[in-house]
A and B are shown apart, each in its own frame.
Chain A
Amino acid sequence: MHEKLIFEHAAPGRSADAQYPRVPVEATVPTSLLRATPPLLPEVSELQAVRHYTRLSQLNFSIDTHFYPLGSCTMKYNPKACNQYAMLPELLGRHPLAPESTGQGVLQILFELQEMLKEVTGMRGVSLTPMAGAQGEFAGVAMIRAYHRARNDLARTEIIVPDAAHGTNPATATMCGCTVREIPTQSNGDIDLEALKGVVGPHTAGIMLTNPSTIGVFERRIREVAEIVHGAGGLLYYDGANLNAILGKVRPGDMGFDVIHMNLHKTFSTPHGGGGPGSGAVGVSERLLPFLPVPIVGRDGERFRWLDQQDLPQTIGRLSNFMGNTGVLLRAYVYMRMLGRDGMQRVSEFATLNANYLMARLQAAGFEVAYPERRASHEFIVTLRREAREWETNAMDFAKRLLDYGFHAPTTYFPLLVPECLLIEPTETEPKEELDAFVDAMIAIRKEAETEPAKLQGAPWTLPVRRLDDVRAAKQLDLTWKPATA
């Protein structure tokens, strides 16, 4: 299936006339400020546009159409109600700078969301403004820096990250003007405490941790980690990428963390949208409260209002033009209210059940699990190093072949620590039948790897395109369409 570019559907003079003002008007500005030639936007009818973009949508895998066990991404079902009720006309039409008196409804929703997130994380304060996990991370590390600066502890510029950490962690540290110290992971998946003791000191600003970690196991000695880092004067940052694994079971605040970001698009089921919008709300312990990014929703009696720089003079400031991705926050709110307190605990229970079941079945089928002596959290790692060695079919080949079988591939080659790995996260919303079908596909692909490896090496065969030439894409950059010149 191939769909032309929208520009190739166009014809000069055609347009969707009902969609814009009828009467032509001259733009009254000095000629020197006027545009000379019109932009290259397509000239198509409404039906052409609708058909084109509907066809494009059909070229995608998505949660609504496929099992999507992408590790570390929590691709759970996005309930339709969350979208519908976040798109009520009054909520969509509200201007963010309209007076608070005309926004008490939406402010109350955001306030209650803040309160619920405090409860599930065990933190003292929450700011909803970060627009994605990476911006939440930025806010977190910026708060840690601001905290040390406020105490005139200016030497603390080092951020410690485990070597298995997500790439955003070190990138964030750099954006905050910090330097990165990596510490190794032990073979059982836990942090090397001796190495940690060796790097902490008067330069330590903090440590960034994910727990369960990026290798899908719970860091059992987290309290000792907290003692070591706190003892050295540093703070603990919780990367909420894997919050789905522990929701309602253990709270980052109780583990000793000072700051956390939550990926609402993972744990609280707001859509991934083909790569955004996300939402990276942050929660903090007592000592970081003054530094939270603004705005925050506050309450005076029965009235809700924005708290800004005047209310929090030590804030790290504003991270977005208004209030982050408000529409995403509304979706998270609807989801949390539908789950309720018991439903939230069930999220982690069934996410963990599904992961451990899938791991057990794959293991029984002969696949090598990276940390067999550990319980899986909500995700786990299979390493295909044996398959790669014996049949020259690597993790990428398995991933691509899975697409032919109608499954989105798991995360490949992350974490970097484990060779030829698949990081598999089924989430709680998948039924047992779907997991069984995935195992069947993996077994079938393994058999193919042994008997007809070319089937994997050339995969996928049944999708709109076969494997793409990444080298050509990067070398002969073609980033925009250009009309053929006559």
Chain B
Amino acid sequence: MPFIPHTDADVRAMLDVIGAPDIDALFEEIPAALRAPGLPGIPPAMTEMEIGRCMAEFAARDGRPLNFIGAGAYEHHIPAAVWAIVSRGEFYSAYTPYQAEASQGTLQLLYEYQTMMASLTALEISNASLYDGASGLAEACLMAVRANRKSKSLRILLPLALNPTYRDVAQAIAGNQNLVFEQLPFDAKGGQTVVSALDQYKGKDVTAVVIQQPNFFGTLEDVDAITNWAHANGALMIGVVNPTSLAVLKPPGEWGARGADIACGDGQPLGVPLSSGGPYFGFMATRAEHVRQMPGRIIGRTVDLDGKPGFALTLQAREQHIRRSKATSNICTNQGLLVTAATIYMSLLGPRGLARVAATSMQRTQQLVDALTRIPGVRLAFDTPRFHEAVLLLDRPVKPVLEALAHRGIVGGVDVSGRYPQLGHALLVCATETRTVNDIETYARALAETLRSSAAAA
């Protein structure tokens, strides 16, 4: 029996001890009318060999196209050591470290992670992770409502240049608690959030202002001016950031005169594979004064009965299992295994490696933009400083072009014209350090040919 060790003799001996004639008798309290006749819709069992073959066939069907998509999930090199260690059963098959003495490995690792994330964001405190970047922003908005006691409006300003799915998720999760999300427009030429658009909120009650750096288009925002505006107007500042970028870009804790209050984002770029969308992890950091308003698990260093240092979950009174309906969030688990990957990744890269990944990705994207905009019918949407993504404008609908590229084994970016019709035929592209000059040339050639042949057909 797959994964069940019992012999017939075991079963007989165990039933004797229980005093039941057979296993079925153990279910006697379930009313007969409710008993399911079986599961005819589930296929019969497969052996490991058979399911292995089946999965390999599914995987082969999808192949390994050359990827130029970012839009919230980034293909970086993951050192071999990362998942070799993450896959160890002691990390993989452990649970939430409630029994601290039997979980010091996980707990110490999370403490190291908190240290790394706090430093990367230049804030004092980090939690031990949330589910992903988008739901993390929803949690950050709810946290801002708790932390900004003077504000009663529940009004959160979200830039239009924020990843649109983040907005959707924030609305779906936080909207139930009556948060009001209002939009800040972006400049059509530069792709940056218009700072003067904040003026209409002057003197009004704003709970928090959100800014994404780099924004959804890859463009760099004037984070100092926006942060200063937020603080001058009694609002908290929430920064949504890409962790790789923080190796080179000014961290949220240093934005403006006082720094952002909350930083959050998706930790996927730190050693987590694309994996069709997850599991990733969300990170969140804040100032010490807001620590009790922060959702998610937090690890503290303390001492044991002998005075020896050790690690434990702390500030648990914020959490659902104690505070129940008054908890900061209903979140229980975090994304521990992915945080394990990220911590090992950051240790291997160190400050220099991470900065090099960031700067090389920027360079590759610049090379990609240069190569693609040389093609007739392709131009750059925003000529402003960017990180490792850019919006290109095509002279025709994007979707068929992407389909044609996919047939050539290239995943050429994301069609964002549905979410941003004002941009026209807009294509969001990304190249990380994993794309070589050759890869970029391959893409440019394929795009040029695709545009030529579809133009010829038209």
Contacts and interface: CB of A to CB of B under 8 A. Distances in A.
Indicate yes or no for A touching B, C-beta below 8 A. yes
Interface in A222-277: 222-223, 246, 248-251, 254-255, 265, 269, 271-277
A367 interface: no
A63 B93 contact: yes
A270 to B, nearest CB: 10
Nearest to B213: A33
A171 B330 contact: yes
Contact of B330 (A172, A179, A220): A172
B103 interface: yes
Given A41-B349, A54-B88, A92-B274, A320 B302 contact: no
Contact of A428 (B4, B344, B363): B4
Interface string B115-144: 110111010111011011111000000000
Contacts of A484: none
B9 to A, nearest CB: 9
A327 B276 contact: yes
B94 A61 contact: yes
A341 B40 contact: yes
Contact of B60 (A53, A90, A103, A466): A90
A79 interface: yes
B26 A173 contact: no
B119 A41 contact: yes
B360 A21 contact: yes
A277 B64 contact: no
Interface in A31-65: 32-36, 38-44, 46, 49-50, 52-65
Interface core residue of B43, B303, B325, B363 (most chain A CB under 10 Å) = B325
A341 B52 contact: no
Contacts of A468: 100-101, 302-304, 310-312
B65 A350 contact: no
Contact of B73 (A2, A76, A95): A95
A93 to B, nearest CB: 6
B148 interface: no
A337 to B, nearest CB: 5
A70 interface: yes
A313 interface: no
Contacts of B298: 479
Contact of A40 (B99, B115, B131): B115
21 contacts: A20-B77, A41-B119, A41-B346, A54-B85, A66-B102, A91-B276, A171-B327, A222-B34, A273-B338, A275-B106, A276-B337, A277-B278, A277-B281, A317-B172, A322-B277, A343-B1, A343-B45, A349-B26, A375-B29, A463-B102, A466-B304
B363 A480 contact: no
A125 interface: no
| Interface size range of chain A in the complex | 35 or more
A341 B274 contact: no
B3 A35 contact: no
Given A343-B2, A472-B302, A33 B385 contact: yes
Nearest to B142: A175
A75 interface: yes
Given A33-B250, A91-B59, A339-B2, A135 B278 contact: no
Nearest to B53: A85
A88 interface: yes
B117 to A, nearest CB: 9
B209 to A, nearest CB: 18
Contact of B312 (A33, A272, A473): A473
Contact of B26 (A133, A375, A464, A472): A375
Contact of A480 (B43, B125, B223): B125
A167 interface: yes
A6 to B, nearest CB: 5
A328 B277 contact: no
Interface stretch (B163-171, B194-202, B231-239, B449-457): B163-171
A30 B62 contact: no
Interface in B1-40: 1-6, 10-11, 13-15, 17-20, 23, 26-31, 33-36, 38-40
Contact of B305 (A115, A361, A458, A479): A458
B62 A466 contact: no
Contacts of A357: 14, 17-18
B383 interface: no
B79 interface: yes
Contacts of B321: 166-168, 414
Nearest to B106: A274
A177 B142 CA distance: 12
